Amino acid sequence: MIAYLNGRLAGIYEDNLVVEVGHIGYNVRVPASVTAHLPAIGEEIKIYTYTSVREDAIALYGFLTRDDLEMYRQLITVSGIGPKGGLAVLSVMSADELRMAVVAQDAKAIARAPGVGAKTAQRIILELKDKISLEDTALLRESSAPALSAPGALGQARTEAVEALTALGYAASDALRAVKAVEQEDMDVEALLKAALKKMF
């Protein structure tokens, strides 16, 4: 319904913003993590929005990036996760951290969200694991950008190295950063994994 709002940040409250567009103030619910990245009140802001329409209410949910919005859209397709539940998850973890938690099957990380128990976290993993991959994360997209002419093997080696590190017990976010930090030139998975392990210490 409303793809995004581009206007003046008129107010910041506990769980929502007011964005003024054309002399109209839009109340937008946002993840708690968003508030640390907001401009000062009175400055211009662009918020990507999801419109929730129910019999008794219409609400706007907002995100600073299109990527966060897309992850939110996927999250609320999970049975038992409504608009507020999806917002709660993205309040405690970024879109990339959620993707990594799903790939690594880290239910504990997801269950840190208020109102999300262990069973719900497992359901999120079960229903999203076939829809997302590590290649979707911003860090891997960024690190793969110069190698678009040879997309297959290099990206696959990174993914397998990250998965191996998470299997060894490292946090998915730490594993991804270590693999990204390796200056790899035609490395196979084993060489990439060894180099990344050195970055972990």
CB-CB neighbours of 143 under 10 Å: 19
Cβ–Cβ < 8 Å for 146, 176:
no
pTM assigned to the model: 0.72
- Whole-angstrom CA distances from 113 to 83, 118, 145 are 14, 10, 32
What is the pLDDT at residue 35?
A: 85
For residue range 24-45, list pLDDT tens digits in order.
999 999 998 888 899 999 999 9
For residue range 79-122, list pLDDT tens digits in order.
989 999 999 999 998 888 888 888 878 888 899 999 899 999 99
